[in-house]
Each structure stands twice: as C-alpha cells, then as structure tokens.
Amino acid sequence: MNTNPIRVLHAASSMGLGGTEKVMQILASNLDKNRFSVATYSPQDGPRARLLRKNGIPTFITPDFLGVLQKFSPHIVHIHRAGWTEPGSLRPLKLAGIPIVVETNVFGRHDPSEEAKLIDCHLFVSRFCLERFKSTTSIRAVYPNYSFLYNPVDTDFFAKKCPVSIERPQFSFGRISRADPGKWSSLALDFLPRMEALLTDKHFSKINYRIIGGIPQAFSYVEQHNISSKVEFLPQILTDDELAGFFNSISFLAHANDTGESFGMVIAEAMAAGLPVITHPSTGLKDNAQLELVDHGETGFVAENSEEYAQAAAFLISNPEKARDMGEKGREKAQRLYDTKVITSQLETIYCDLLRAKRML
C-alpha cells in the first residue's frame, strides 16, 4: 500500500446529470492520480459516464456490481446514495470482502439495516445534516466513522467564466431548479408583486425575473397576477458553461424551496460566480443547509416571509454596489470552503485515516 496506488471505486445508482452524479464525477476526476487509482460504477449509463471517460476515469456500466468489485478489487468503495435503507444494494460489498466502505449520505438519513453496518464512514454533505443526525439518533457520530464533507464546486471555473470585472444587469435576477413542484416554494413568486410598493415605478418597470425550471403552478401564478412582462421562463440547461452564462445574466439568485437543502449546489455555484443569494429557512426537521451557506447580511439575505423576501430583493436592486460586495464575499466563502481542490484534499485525508485505522497504510 505504500508503493502501489490505493484503488478507489466510486459507485452511484445512475450516471445521469443530477447533483449526486455530478459530485461523484468531480471527486473521482480530481483525486490525486499519483496516490489513487480511481474507477466508477453504475448499473445505468448516462452522460456522466462519458464525461468521466473523457477525464480518463474507467467506468463500469453493468448490473453485476459483484463482478466489478471482484475485477477491480478496490481497497475503498465510495458509494453515493440518499442515505436510507436500500435492501440488497450493499450485499455485494460483503460478498467481495471490501476492506473499507465510505458513504456520501446525500439527504442525511439514517439506515438502521444490518447491511449498513458494512459502512466504515458516513459523510454528510453539510454540518447541518451531521448535527441533525446526531440530535435525532442515539448514535455517537464521531470522526472518522462520521463526518461531513461539502459538495465540491469548481470555483476556478466560475472565477474564469464569471470574473469580478463583469457588469451584470442591475434589474435582472433569477432562480434555477428542476421543473419539479418539490423544488419550489410559494415564496419564489409571492415576493414579486410586493416589490412594486418598495421600488419606484421606473425601477419596477425594468425588472426581469429569469426562471429556469418553471412548473405549471408558476405559469398560472404569473398569468393570474398579470406580471408576465416581469417574468421570463427559460429552458433547462445542462452544462456548467450554460450555468455560468445564466449567472452572468442576473444580479442575484432568488432561492426558494420548501423542502430545503441538504447542501444547496446551485447556491454554492452562484456564490462561486460572485452572486448574492436570497433564501429562506425551512420548518421543523426539514433540510436547512441553505442557512449554512448564506450568511444573512453578508453574502445575501435570509427571509422569513414574502415581505422580507421582497425587501431583500428591492435592496439588492436599489444598491448594486452593495450587492456586488455581498456577491464577492460569497465568492470568497465558496473558494475557501467548497472549492474542488479543498474538498478533494479533505477526502484524501479521510481515506488515509480509515486505511491507517485498519493498518492498511
């Protein structure tokens, strides 16, 4: 183990364009190739597999997980999953005798099954998810068996594509999500009519709210409130280049999602692009990591209701220099905490600590 690369297999249920698959792709592609021999596995093919192969990462696409484990013989298998029980999914790891199993627990859930005892390290995607896990279980969740690892963001890419010098349109702002009602909140639109009383007629007439991921309820709301001249529904985008272009077309990100965020990839990417973010808290035990990312009054605003949301949006529109300053503070935070190099280095340390604990390094 001291002279040969450490073999790591990253596994996910698909190779689609979702956030879970994107995180797997970024981590697998950026581990130190001098220390780690990395491959990926999924029973379903998809665009992430092509991107991984383009980066020189072998991909195994087959329902035969056990066969892949026996062929690649990894020292570490890193699975990316929701966190809840998935009967039978971990059994091949036991049959193959994998020394170390690491889990990225995307939604911060607890898996009480016998199979889950195979997992040596549970990585939550935010401190919030780890602390909620501790408070809702009787498990002593301590390092190295439990920790959190933020999702990685290519901050260098966004710094290049969305430079500090860029001039963003003052009256344009936007939101982006999947076209899924579960990704929405009534706040996403309720604040807009309330802004009219907070802005001059001249300023309100210039508003351009750009929305990616519109849903039928949103289309109806815009029509019923006669604000179609203020709202622009855009098609879904797929690439980071397209995402950077969208960020360059707005002056702040309007985030609103009643289910909350276990991390908040779009928020972190908007911060990396130099945008301030408006968000809101979730209720009860729902995901609330958006409050971990957005520092109220520093990198954006946390609004409790539609009135506060409208006030925050009106402030950012009316104070473009302050909005730019908040956006740059967000960029600095993203570079410090979420940068791909930072996160990958932390993951490498976790891998090595686990190997040492089992006297394999």
From first to last of the 361 residues of the chain, give the pLDDT tens digit. Answer: 446 899 999 999 999 988 899 999 999 999 999 999 999 999 999 999 999 999 999 999 999 999 999 999 999 999 999 999 999 999 999 999 999 999 999 999 999 999 999 999 999 999 999 999 999 998 999 999 999 999 999 999 999 999 999 999 999 999 999 899 999 999 999 999 999 999 999 999 999 999 999 999 999 999 999 999 999 999 998 789 999 999 999 999 999 999 999 999 999 999 999 999 999 999 988 999 999 999 999 999 999 999 999 999 999 999 999 999 999 999 999 999 999 999 999 999 999 999 999 999 8
Q: What is the pTM of this model?
A: 0.93
Thinking of the domain 6-151+339-357, which architecture would CATH place it in? Answer: 3-Layer(aba) Sandwich (3.40)
Q: Taking the mean position of all CA atoms in its chain, how far away is CA 39?
A: 22
The number of CA neighbours under 13 Å toward the Cβ of 79 is: 25
Residue with tokens 């199993």: 101
Task: Report the number of secondary-structure helices (H) and strands (E) in the chain.
Answer: 15, 13
**Could you give the C-alpha distances from 76 to 48, 121, 334, 352, in angstroms and in order?**
21, 11, 28, 10
Q: What is the CATH number of domain 155-337?
A: 3.40.50.2000
CA dihedral 176, 13, 135, 187 (to 10 degrees): 20
| Cα(81)–Cα(17) distance, integer angstroms | 15
Question: Which residue ranges make up each domain of the chain?
Answer: 6-151+339-357, 155-337
pLDDT of residue 1: 44
According to the model, what pLDDT value does residue 307 have?
A: 97
* Cβ density class 274-291: b for 16+ within 10 Å, e for less: bbbbbbbebeeeebbbbb
- Residues sharing a CB contact under 8 Å with residue 146, sequence separation 6 or more, in sequence order: 121, 122, 124, 130, 133, 139
pLDDT at 239: 85
Helix (H) or strand (E) holding 233: strand 231-234
89 closest CA partner among 118, 130, 52 = 118
Q: So what's the pLDDT on residue 4? A: 85
Question: Residue 181: is the preceding peptide bond cis (ω within 30°)?
Answer: no
Which pLDDT score is estimated for 19?
87
Q: Are 99 and 75 in contact, with CB atoms under 8 Å apart? A: yes
Integer Cα distance of 298 and 329 in angstroms: 7
Beta strands 36-42; 59-61: pairing state: parallel
What's the CA gap between 69 and 275, in Å, rounded? 43
Tell me how far apart the alpha carbons of residues 104 and 270 are, in angstroms, rounded to a whole number.
23
Identical fold, 6-151+339-357 and 155-337? yes
Helix extents (H) in the chain: 19-30, 47-54, 65-72, 91-96, 127-136, 155-161, 187-195, 201-204, 216-224, 240-248, 265-272, 290-293, 306-318, 320-337, 340-357
